[in-house]
Amino acid sequence: MDPLKLFVGNINQNVSEEQLLAKLTLHANVTSAIIVKKTFKDHSYGFVSLPTEDDVKKIMDLNKQDFYLSDSKLIFQHTSRSCISPGEESLVCQPLSQRNYDLSPLDSNKISIYMVADDVMMKILNYLPLKERICCEIVCCWWQALLYVMFKITTHLNLNENYLTRNSLVISKAMFSKMLLLTGDTLKSLSLSGINDSTFKDHEKYK
């Protein structure tokens, strides 16, 4: 992906591309802004293109403050990541897919998974076990963006016995690192509770 393009998350659904562009040009030179589609509840996401690396840095620095547009705090991320979690290769934070977004009007004669609304797609992804859900980010940039939004709205995660059993999950260092990487600074608390002796011994083997 273009290093001069940034992902913008948590955009209020009432915000237009023109409004987003106007707001950001107060802080840096922005050549274009696009809001791709609606996501979770009242939020959307999109991309902005900038002419220089200095402009990219200026926009990324907005993450250090409470930068709001229409009562929503915007989140800025590079569209390519080099973060690596230890252990399993499938849990490395993958760069965004080279697949381009298809912004043309939907054709009802051409059945595609991209016809599914974002909030519905996230509900579908939530049915997957956690490890498989995380690995779905390598499918395309749309799925990866959805997963980032899903984890970015997570403020508390309680890995209790029912959760681990339902997800057939043993928390390895790689998995734990990946979860922290995706949730970032929005995660305020994480707990491991209600674990019986058998499950605890399983986790002990992965320390």
Residue 199 pLDDT exceeds 50: no
Task: Look at residue 35 in the predicted model and tell me its pLDDT.
Answer: 86
CB 33 within 8 A of CB 50: no
The average pLDDT across 19-47 equals: 83
**How many domains are contained in the chain?**
2
Question: Minimal CA–CA distance to 71: which of 124, 31, 14, 8?
Answer: 14
Asked if residue 63 and residue 117 are part of one domain, the reply reads: no
Q: Which residues, including other chains, have CB under 8 Å from residue 39's CB and lie 6 or more apart?
A: 45, 118, 119, 122, 145, 146, 149
Would residue 27 count as lying in a domain?
A: yes
Task: Look at residue 14 in the predicted model and tell me its pLDDT.
Answer: 87
Of 34-38, 65-69, 142-146, 165-169, give the range with the top mean pLDDT.
65-69
Q: Which of 78, 105, 134 is the last residue of a domain?
A: 78
User: Which range marks the domain in which residue 134 is found?
Assistant: 89-204
Task: Look at residue 36 in the predicted model and tell me its pLDDT.
Answer: 72
Would residue 51 count as lying in a domain?
A: yes
Task: Look at residue 189 in the predicted model and tell me its pLDDT.
Answer: 72
How confident is the prediction for the chain on average, in pLDDT?
Answer: 71
Dihedrals phi, psi of 43, to nearest 5 degrees:
-125, 150
Question: Minimal CA–CA distance to 89: which of 128, 130, 135, 132?
Answer: 135
Task: Categorise residue 171: left if φ over 0, alpha if ψ from -120 to 50, beta otherwise.
Answer: beta
Asked if residue 199 and residue 99 are part of one domain, the reply reads: yes
Adjacent-strand bridge partners of 11: 44
Q: Which of 33, 52, 78 is the last residue of a domain?
A: 78
Rounded to whole angstroms, the Cα distance separating 141 from 139 reads 7
- The 10s digit of each residue's pLDDT in 122-168 is 888 878 777 777 777 777 777 777 887 777 766 666 665 455 555 54
Check: pTM over 0.95? Answer yes or no: no
Q: Which of 78, 108, 132 is the last residue of a domain?
A: 78
Residue 84 pLDDT exceeds 50: no
Asked if residue 93 and residue 67 are part of one domain, the reply reads: no
